[in-house]
A and B are shown apart, each in its own frame.
Chain A
Amino acid sequence: GENVEQHPSTLSVQEGDSAVIKCTYSDSASNYFPWYKQELGKGPQLIIDIRSNVGEKKDQRIAVTLNKTAKHFSLHITETQPEDSAVYFCAASIGVGGQNFVFGPGTRLSVLP
């Protein structure tokens, strides 16, 4: 079955610097890759996603890149702010038509003022 690895498990950056989180997946049939942000005591919230027919997608300070050949995708956050501090999860679609997801173990990002 699908396996999603995520690195690093923790990441500390200075405010204003960039942060990069990387994920790899094993199933070449996966075709949709969402990223979620989870703040303390809350449920995960979708922040950006990418489909397998696209190599990069940007939304203001957040971007995601996908390399289908290498089976890896990355989240890039530029000009980090303290409110970016949270746990970030990547996920890959699985199942009939990609209806379900396998999640990575998460990255705890701390943005230091």
Chain B
Amino acid sequence: NAGVTQTPKFQVLKTGQSMTLQCAQDMNHEYMSWYRQDPGMGLRLIHYSVGAGITDQGEVPNGYNVSRSTTEDFPLRLLSAAPSQTSVYFCASRTLAGGYTDTQYFGPGTRLTVL
């Protein structure tokens, strides 16, 4: 099992550019989510999904879109990048088979800089 994979590891964008952060998991997990991590603020939930075709907003969804067409993939799209979106982005997944207390697995992160 590769676990949760994210690409790219690093990305630099100019203000106004768009891009997609990729996330994939090979554990057949129903639940997937995206967080951003900023210094001194912990991790904040951007969007999440409890299964293919189902997505919902988290705490900080503005400026980001997601879709979930397969169980394995959960891409995060930045439509028009802004300097405030400079951050480290983490994708996470977990099974819902045992309720909501099963282990959540995180990917290695994508460090995004918007100039």
Judging by beta carbons under 8 Å apart, are A105 and B100 in contact?
A: no
**Which residues of chain A have C-beta atoms less than 8 A from B90's C-beta?**
43-44
Out of B42, B48, B107, B109, name the residue touching A100 (CB < 8 Å). B48
Q: How many residues of B sit at the interface, in one of the four size bands?
A: 20 to 34
**Which residues of chain A have C-beta atoms less than 8 A from B52's C-beta?**
none
Is A46's beta carbon under 8 Å from chain B?
yes
Judging by beta carbons under 8 Å apart, are B103 and A46 in contact?
A: yes
Chain A contributes a number of interface residues (CB within 8 A of B) equal to 27
How far apart sit A102 and B35, CA to CA, in the bound complex (Å)?
Answer: 11
Judging by beta carbons under 8 Å apart, are A99 and B50 in contact?
A: yes
Interface string of B2-26 (1 = CB under 8 A from A): 0010000000000000000000000
**Which residues of chain A have C-beta atoms less than 8 A from B92's C-beta?**
43
B59: min CB distance to chain A, Å: 8
Judging by beta carbons under 8 Å apart, are A51 and B101 in contact?
A: yes
Judging by beta carbons under 8 Å apart, are A105 and B58 in contact?
A: no
Query: What residue of chain A has the Cβ atom nearest to residue B99's Cβ?
Result: A97
Interface string of B52-63 (1 = CB under 8 A from A): 000000110000
Is B45's beta carbon under 8 Å from chain A?
yes
Judging by beta carbons under 8 Å apart, are B106 and A100 in contact?
A: no
CB contacts under 8 Å to A, within B87-111, are 90, 92, 96, 99-101, 103-109
CB contacts under 8 Å to B, within A45-98, are 45-46, 49, 51, 89, 93, 97-98
With A44-B90, A99-B31, A99-B96 given, name 4 new contacts (CB 8 A).
Answer: A43-B109, A100-B33, A100-B58, A103-B44
